[in-house]
Structure 1
Amino acid sequence: MGRGKIEIKRIENTSSRQVTFSKRRNGLLKKANELAVLCDAQVGVIIFSSTGKMFEFCSPLSNLQCLIDKYQKHVSVQGEGFGARQQLMYEMKRMEAENDKLEVLIRQYLGKDLTSFCLNDMIQLEQQLESSIDKVRKRKEEVLSQQLTNLRRKENILEDQNNYLYRMMPDNHAMVAIDQKPGPSAMMDLFGGVYQQDGVNEFPAYRLQPMQPNLQQVGFMSHDLQL
């Protein structure tokens, strides 16, 4: 007949408990050794009895202290990753709540979802909108004033360039001279006539030639004289 199933609970008898501990401990250490050898695994076992006595086992070609350090490092890395994930999840939830709040405010500013508003909320919202409108108008006036100043500056620059190009045109030198010397003397100076400078009349090298008489008329007059 097979052995009956033992109930897993604390053994009240001290001697029986000590015997069971010794047997199970040896069996556990044996299984740990088999696992390390068969599967090429790093196994470490630490056991403390009820009296405080320590029993340990470490897989061959390994050190129990090295296994403990490796375990602590692995746990700390996992803990940091878990903490980072928790922080990221918290930040995402906070941003989602903030986004929902902003969407509600936008709908309220657009005049939507106002059924839950009381009179004080309506007055406060109206004041906020009026303040926002004043700020927008002030900014618009500043932008318009700046654009007007820039346009006036461009206008002055274009006017200066236009005047410079007009003075540089060769066909306008004569007109400029006429504008500087108004009167008949300037016209005579322009076309080579007589002009007066420092009280002295200067004549250019031009002479007036009388028109030739009509030869027929001259002949007719001589014939009358002979008669």
Structure 2
Amino acid sequence: MGRGRVELKRIENKINRQVTFSKRRAGLLKKAHEISVLCDAEVSLIVFSHKGKLFEYSSESCMEKVLERYERYSYAERQLIAPDSSHVNAQTNWSMEYSRLKAKIELLEKNQRHYLGEDLESMSLKELQNLEQQLDIALKHIRSRKNQLMYESLNHLQRKEKDIQEENSMLTKQIKERESILRTQQNQWEQQNRSHDISPPQQHQHQHPYMISHQSPFLNMGGLYQGEDTNGDEEEQS
């Protein structure tokens, strides 16, 4: 016995309404995914529950691209329908721009909360898996960039170390050359000092007899006595 046709009206029972919403929502998201894959169509689906929770699906990586395309298409259609109503079109454009920016801000705020791990109760299992995949991809990019910076920093330090080693080698070579020059100069100075320190042969000094007589008083002792005797004889004679 086949199941009868369900009358399309609001389900009064709160629990049955919630169960039906969950089942129909899952089926709707599944059908949207199937038509996007089978027919290569660009599909976006937005559903708000009676409590205000958002459920969405997009065949693209970002819902914003589909919404912007829809707005451009809708604007072009309205321009073709009423090309002369410029004033009305301007007001409509401002209203659309305001709505678009407001929706974009709300979407960005919601994504930011999701990336921070907040407000995850309204997300389905598939949405959580997509969020996890996006975070994994972001972490891979972050790690790749970090590894690249660390590799560049390591190469810079290695080049700096090599430059310092080359500079040290050059300074060591200069020091050795200066030490060699100083040793050579010192050896030359020592050789010159040795040649100047050789004393000439001692020469005999010729002394004057008068100097010898003053230096040796004993040689004039006889003369002094003779002088004293002469003076004594002169006194006796006088």
* TM bracket (short chain): 0.3 to 0.5
Tell me which of the two structures has the higher relative contact order, counting C-alpha pairs closer than 8 angstroms and 6 or more residues apart: 2
Given the two structures, how large is their TM-score scaled by the length of structure 2?
0.38
Decide which structure has greater helix share. 2
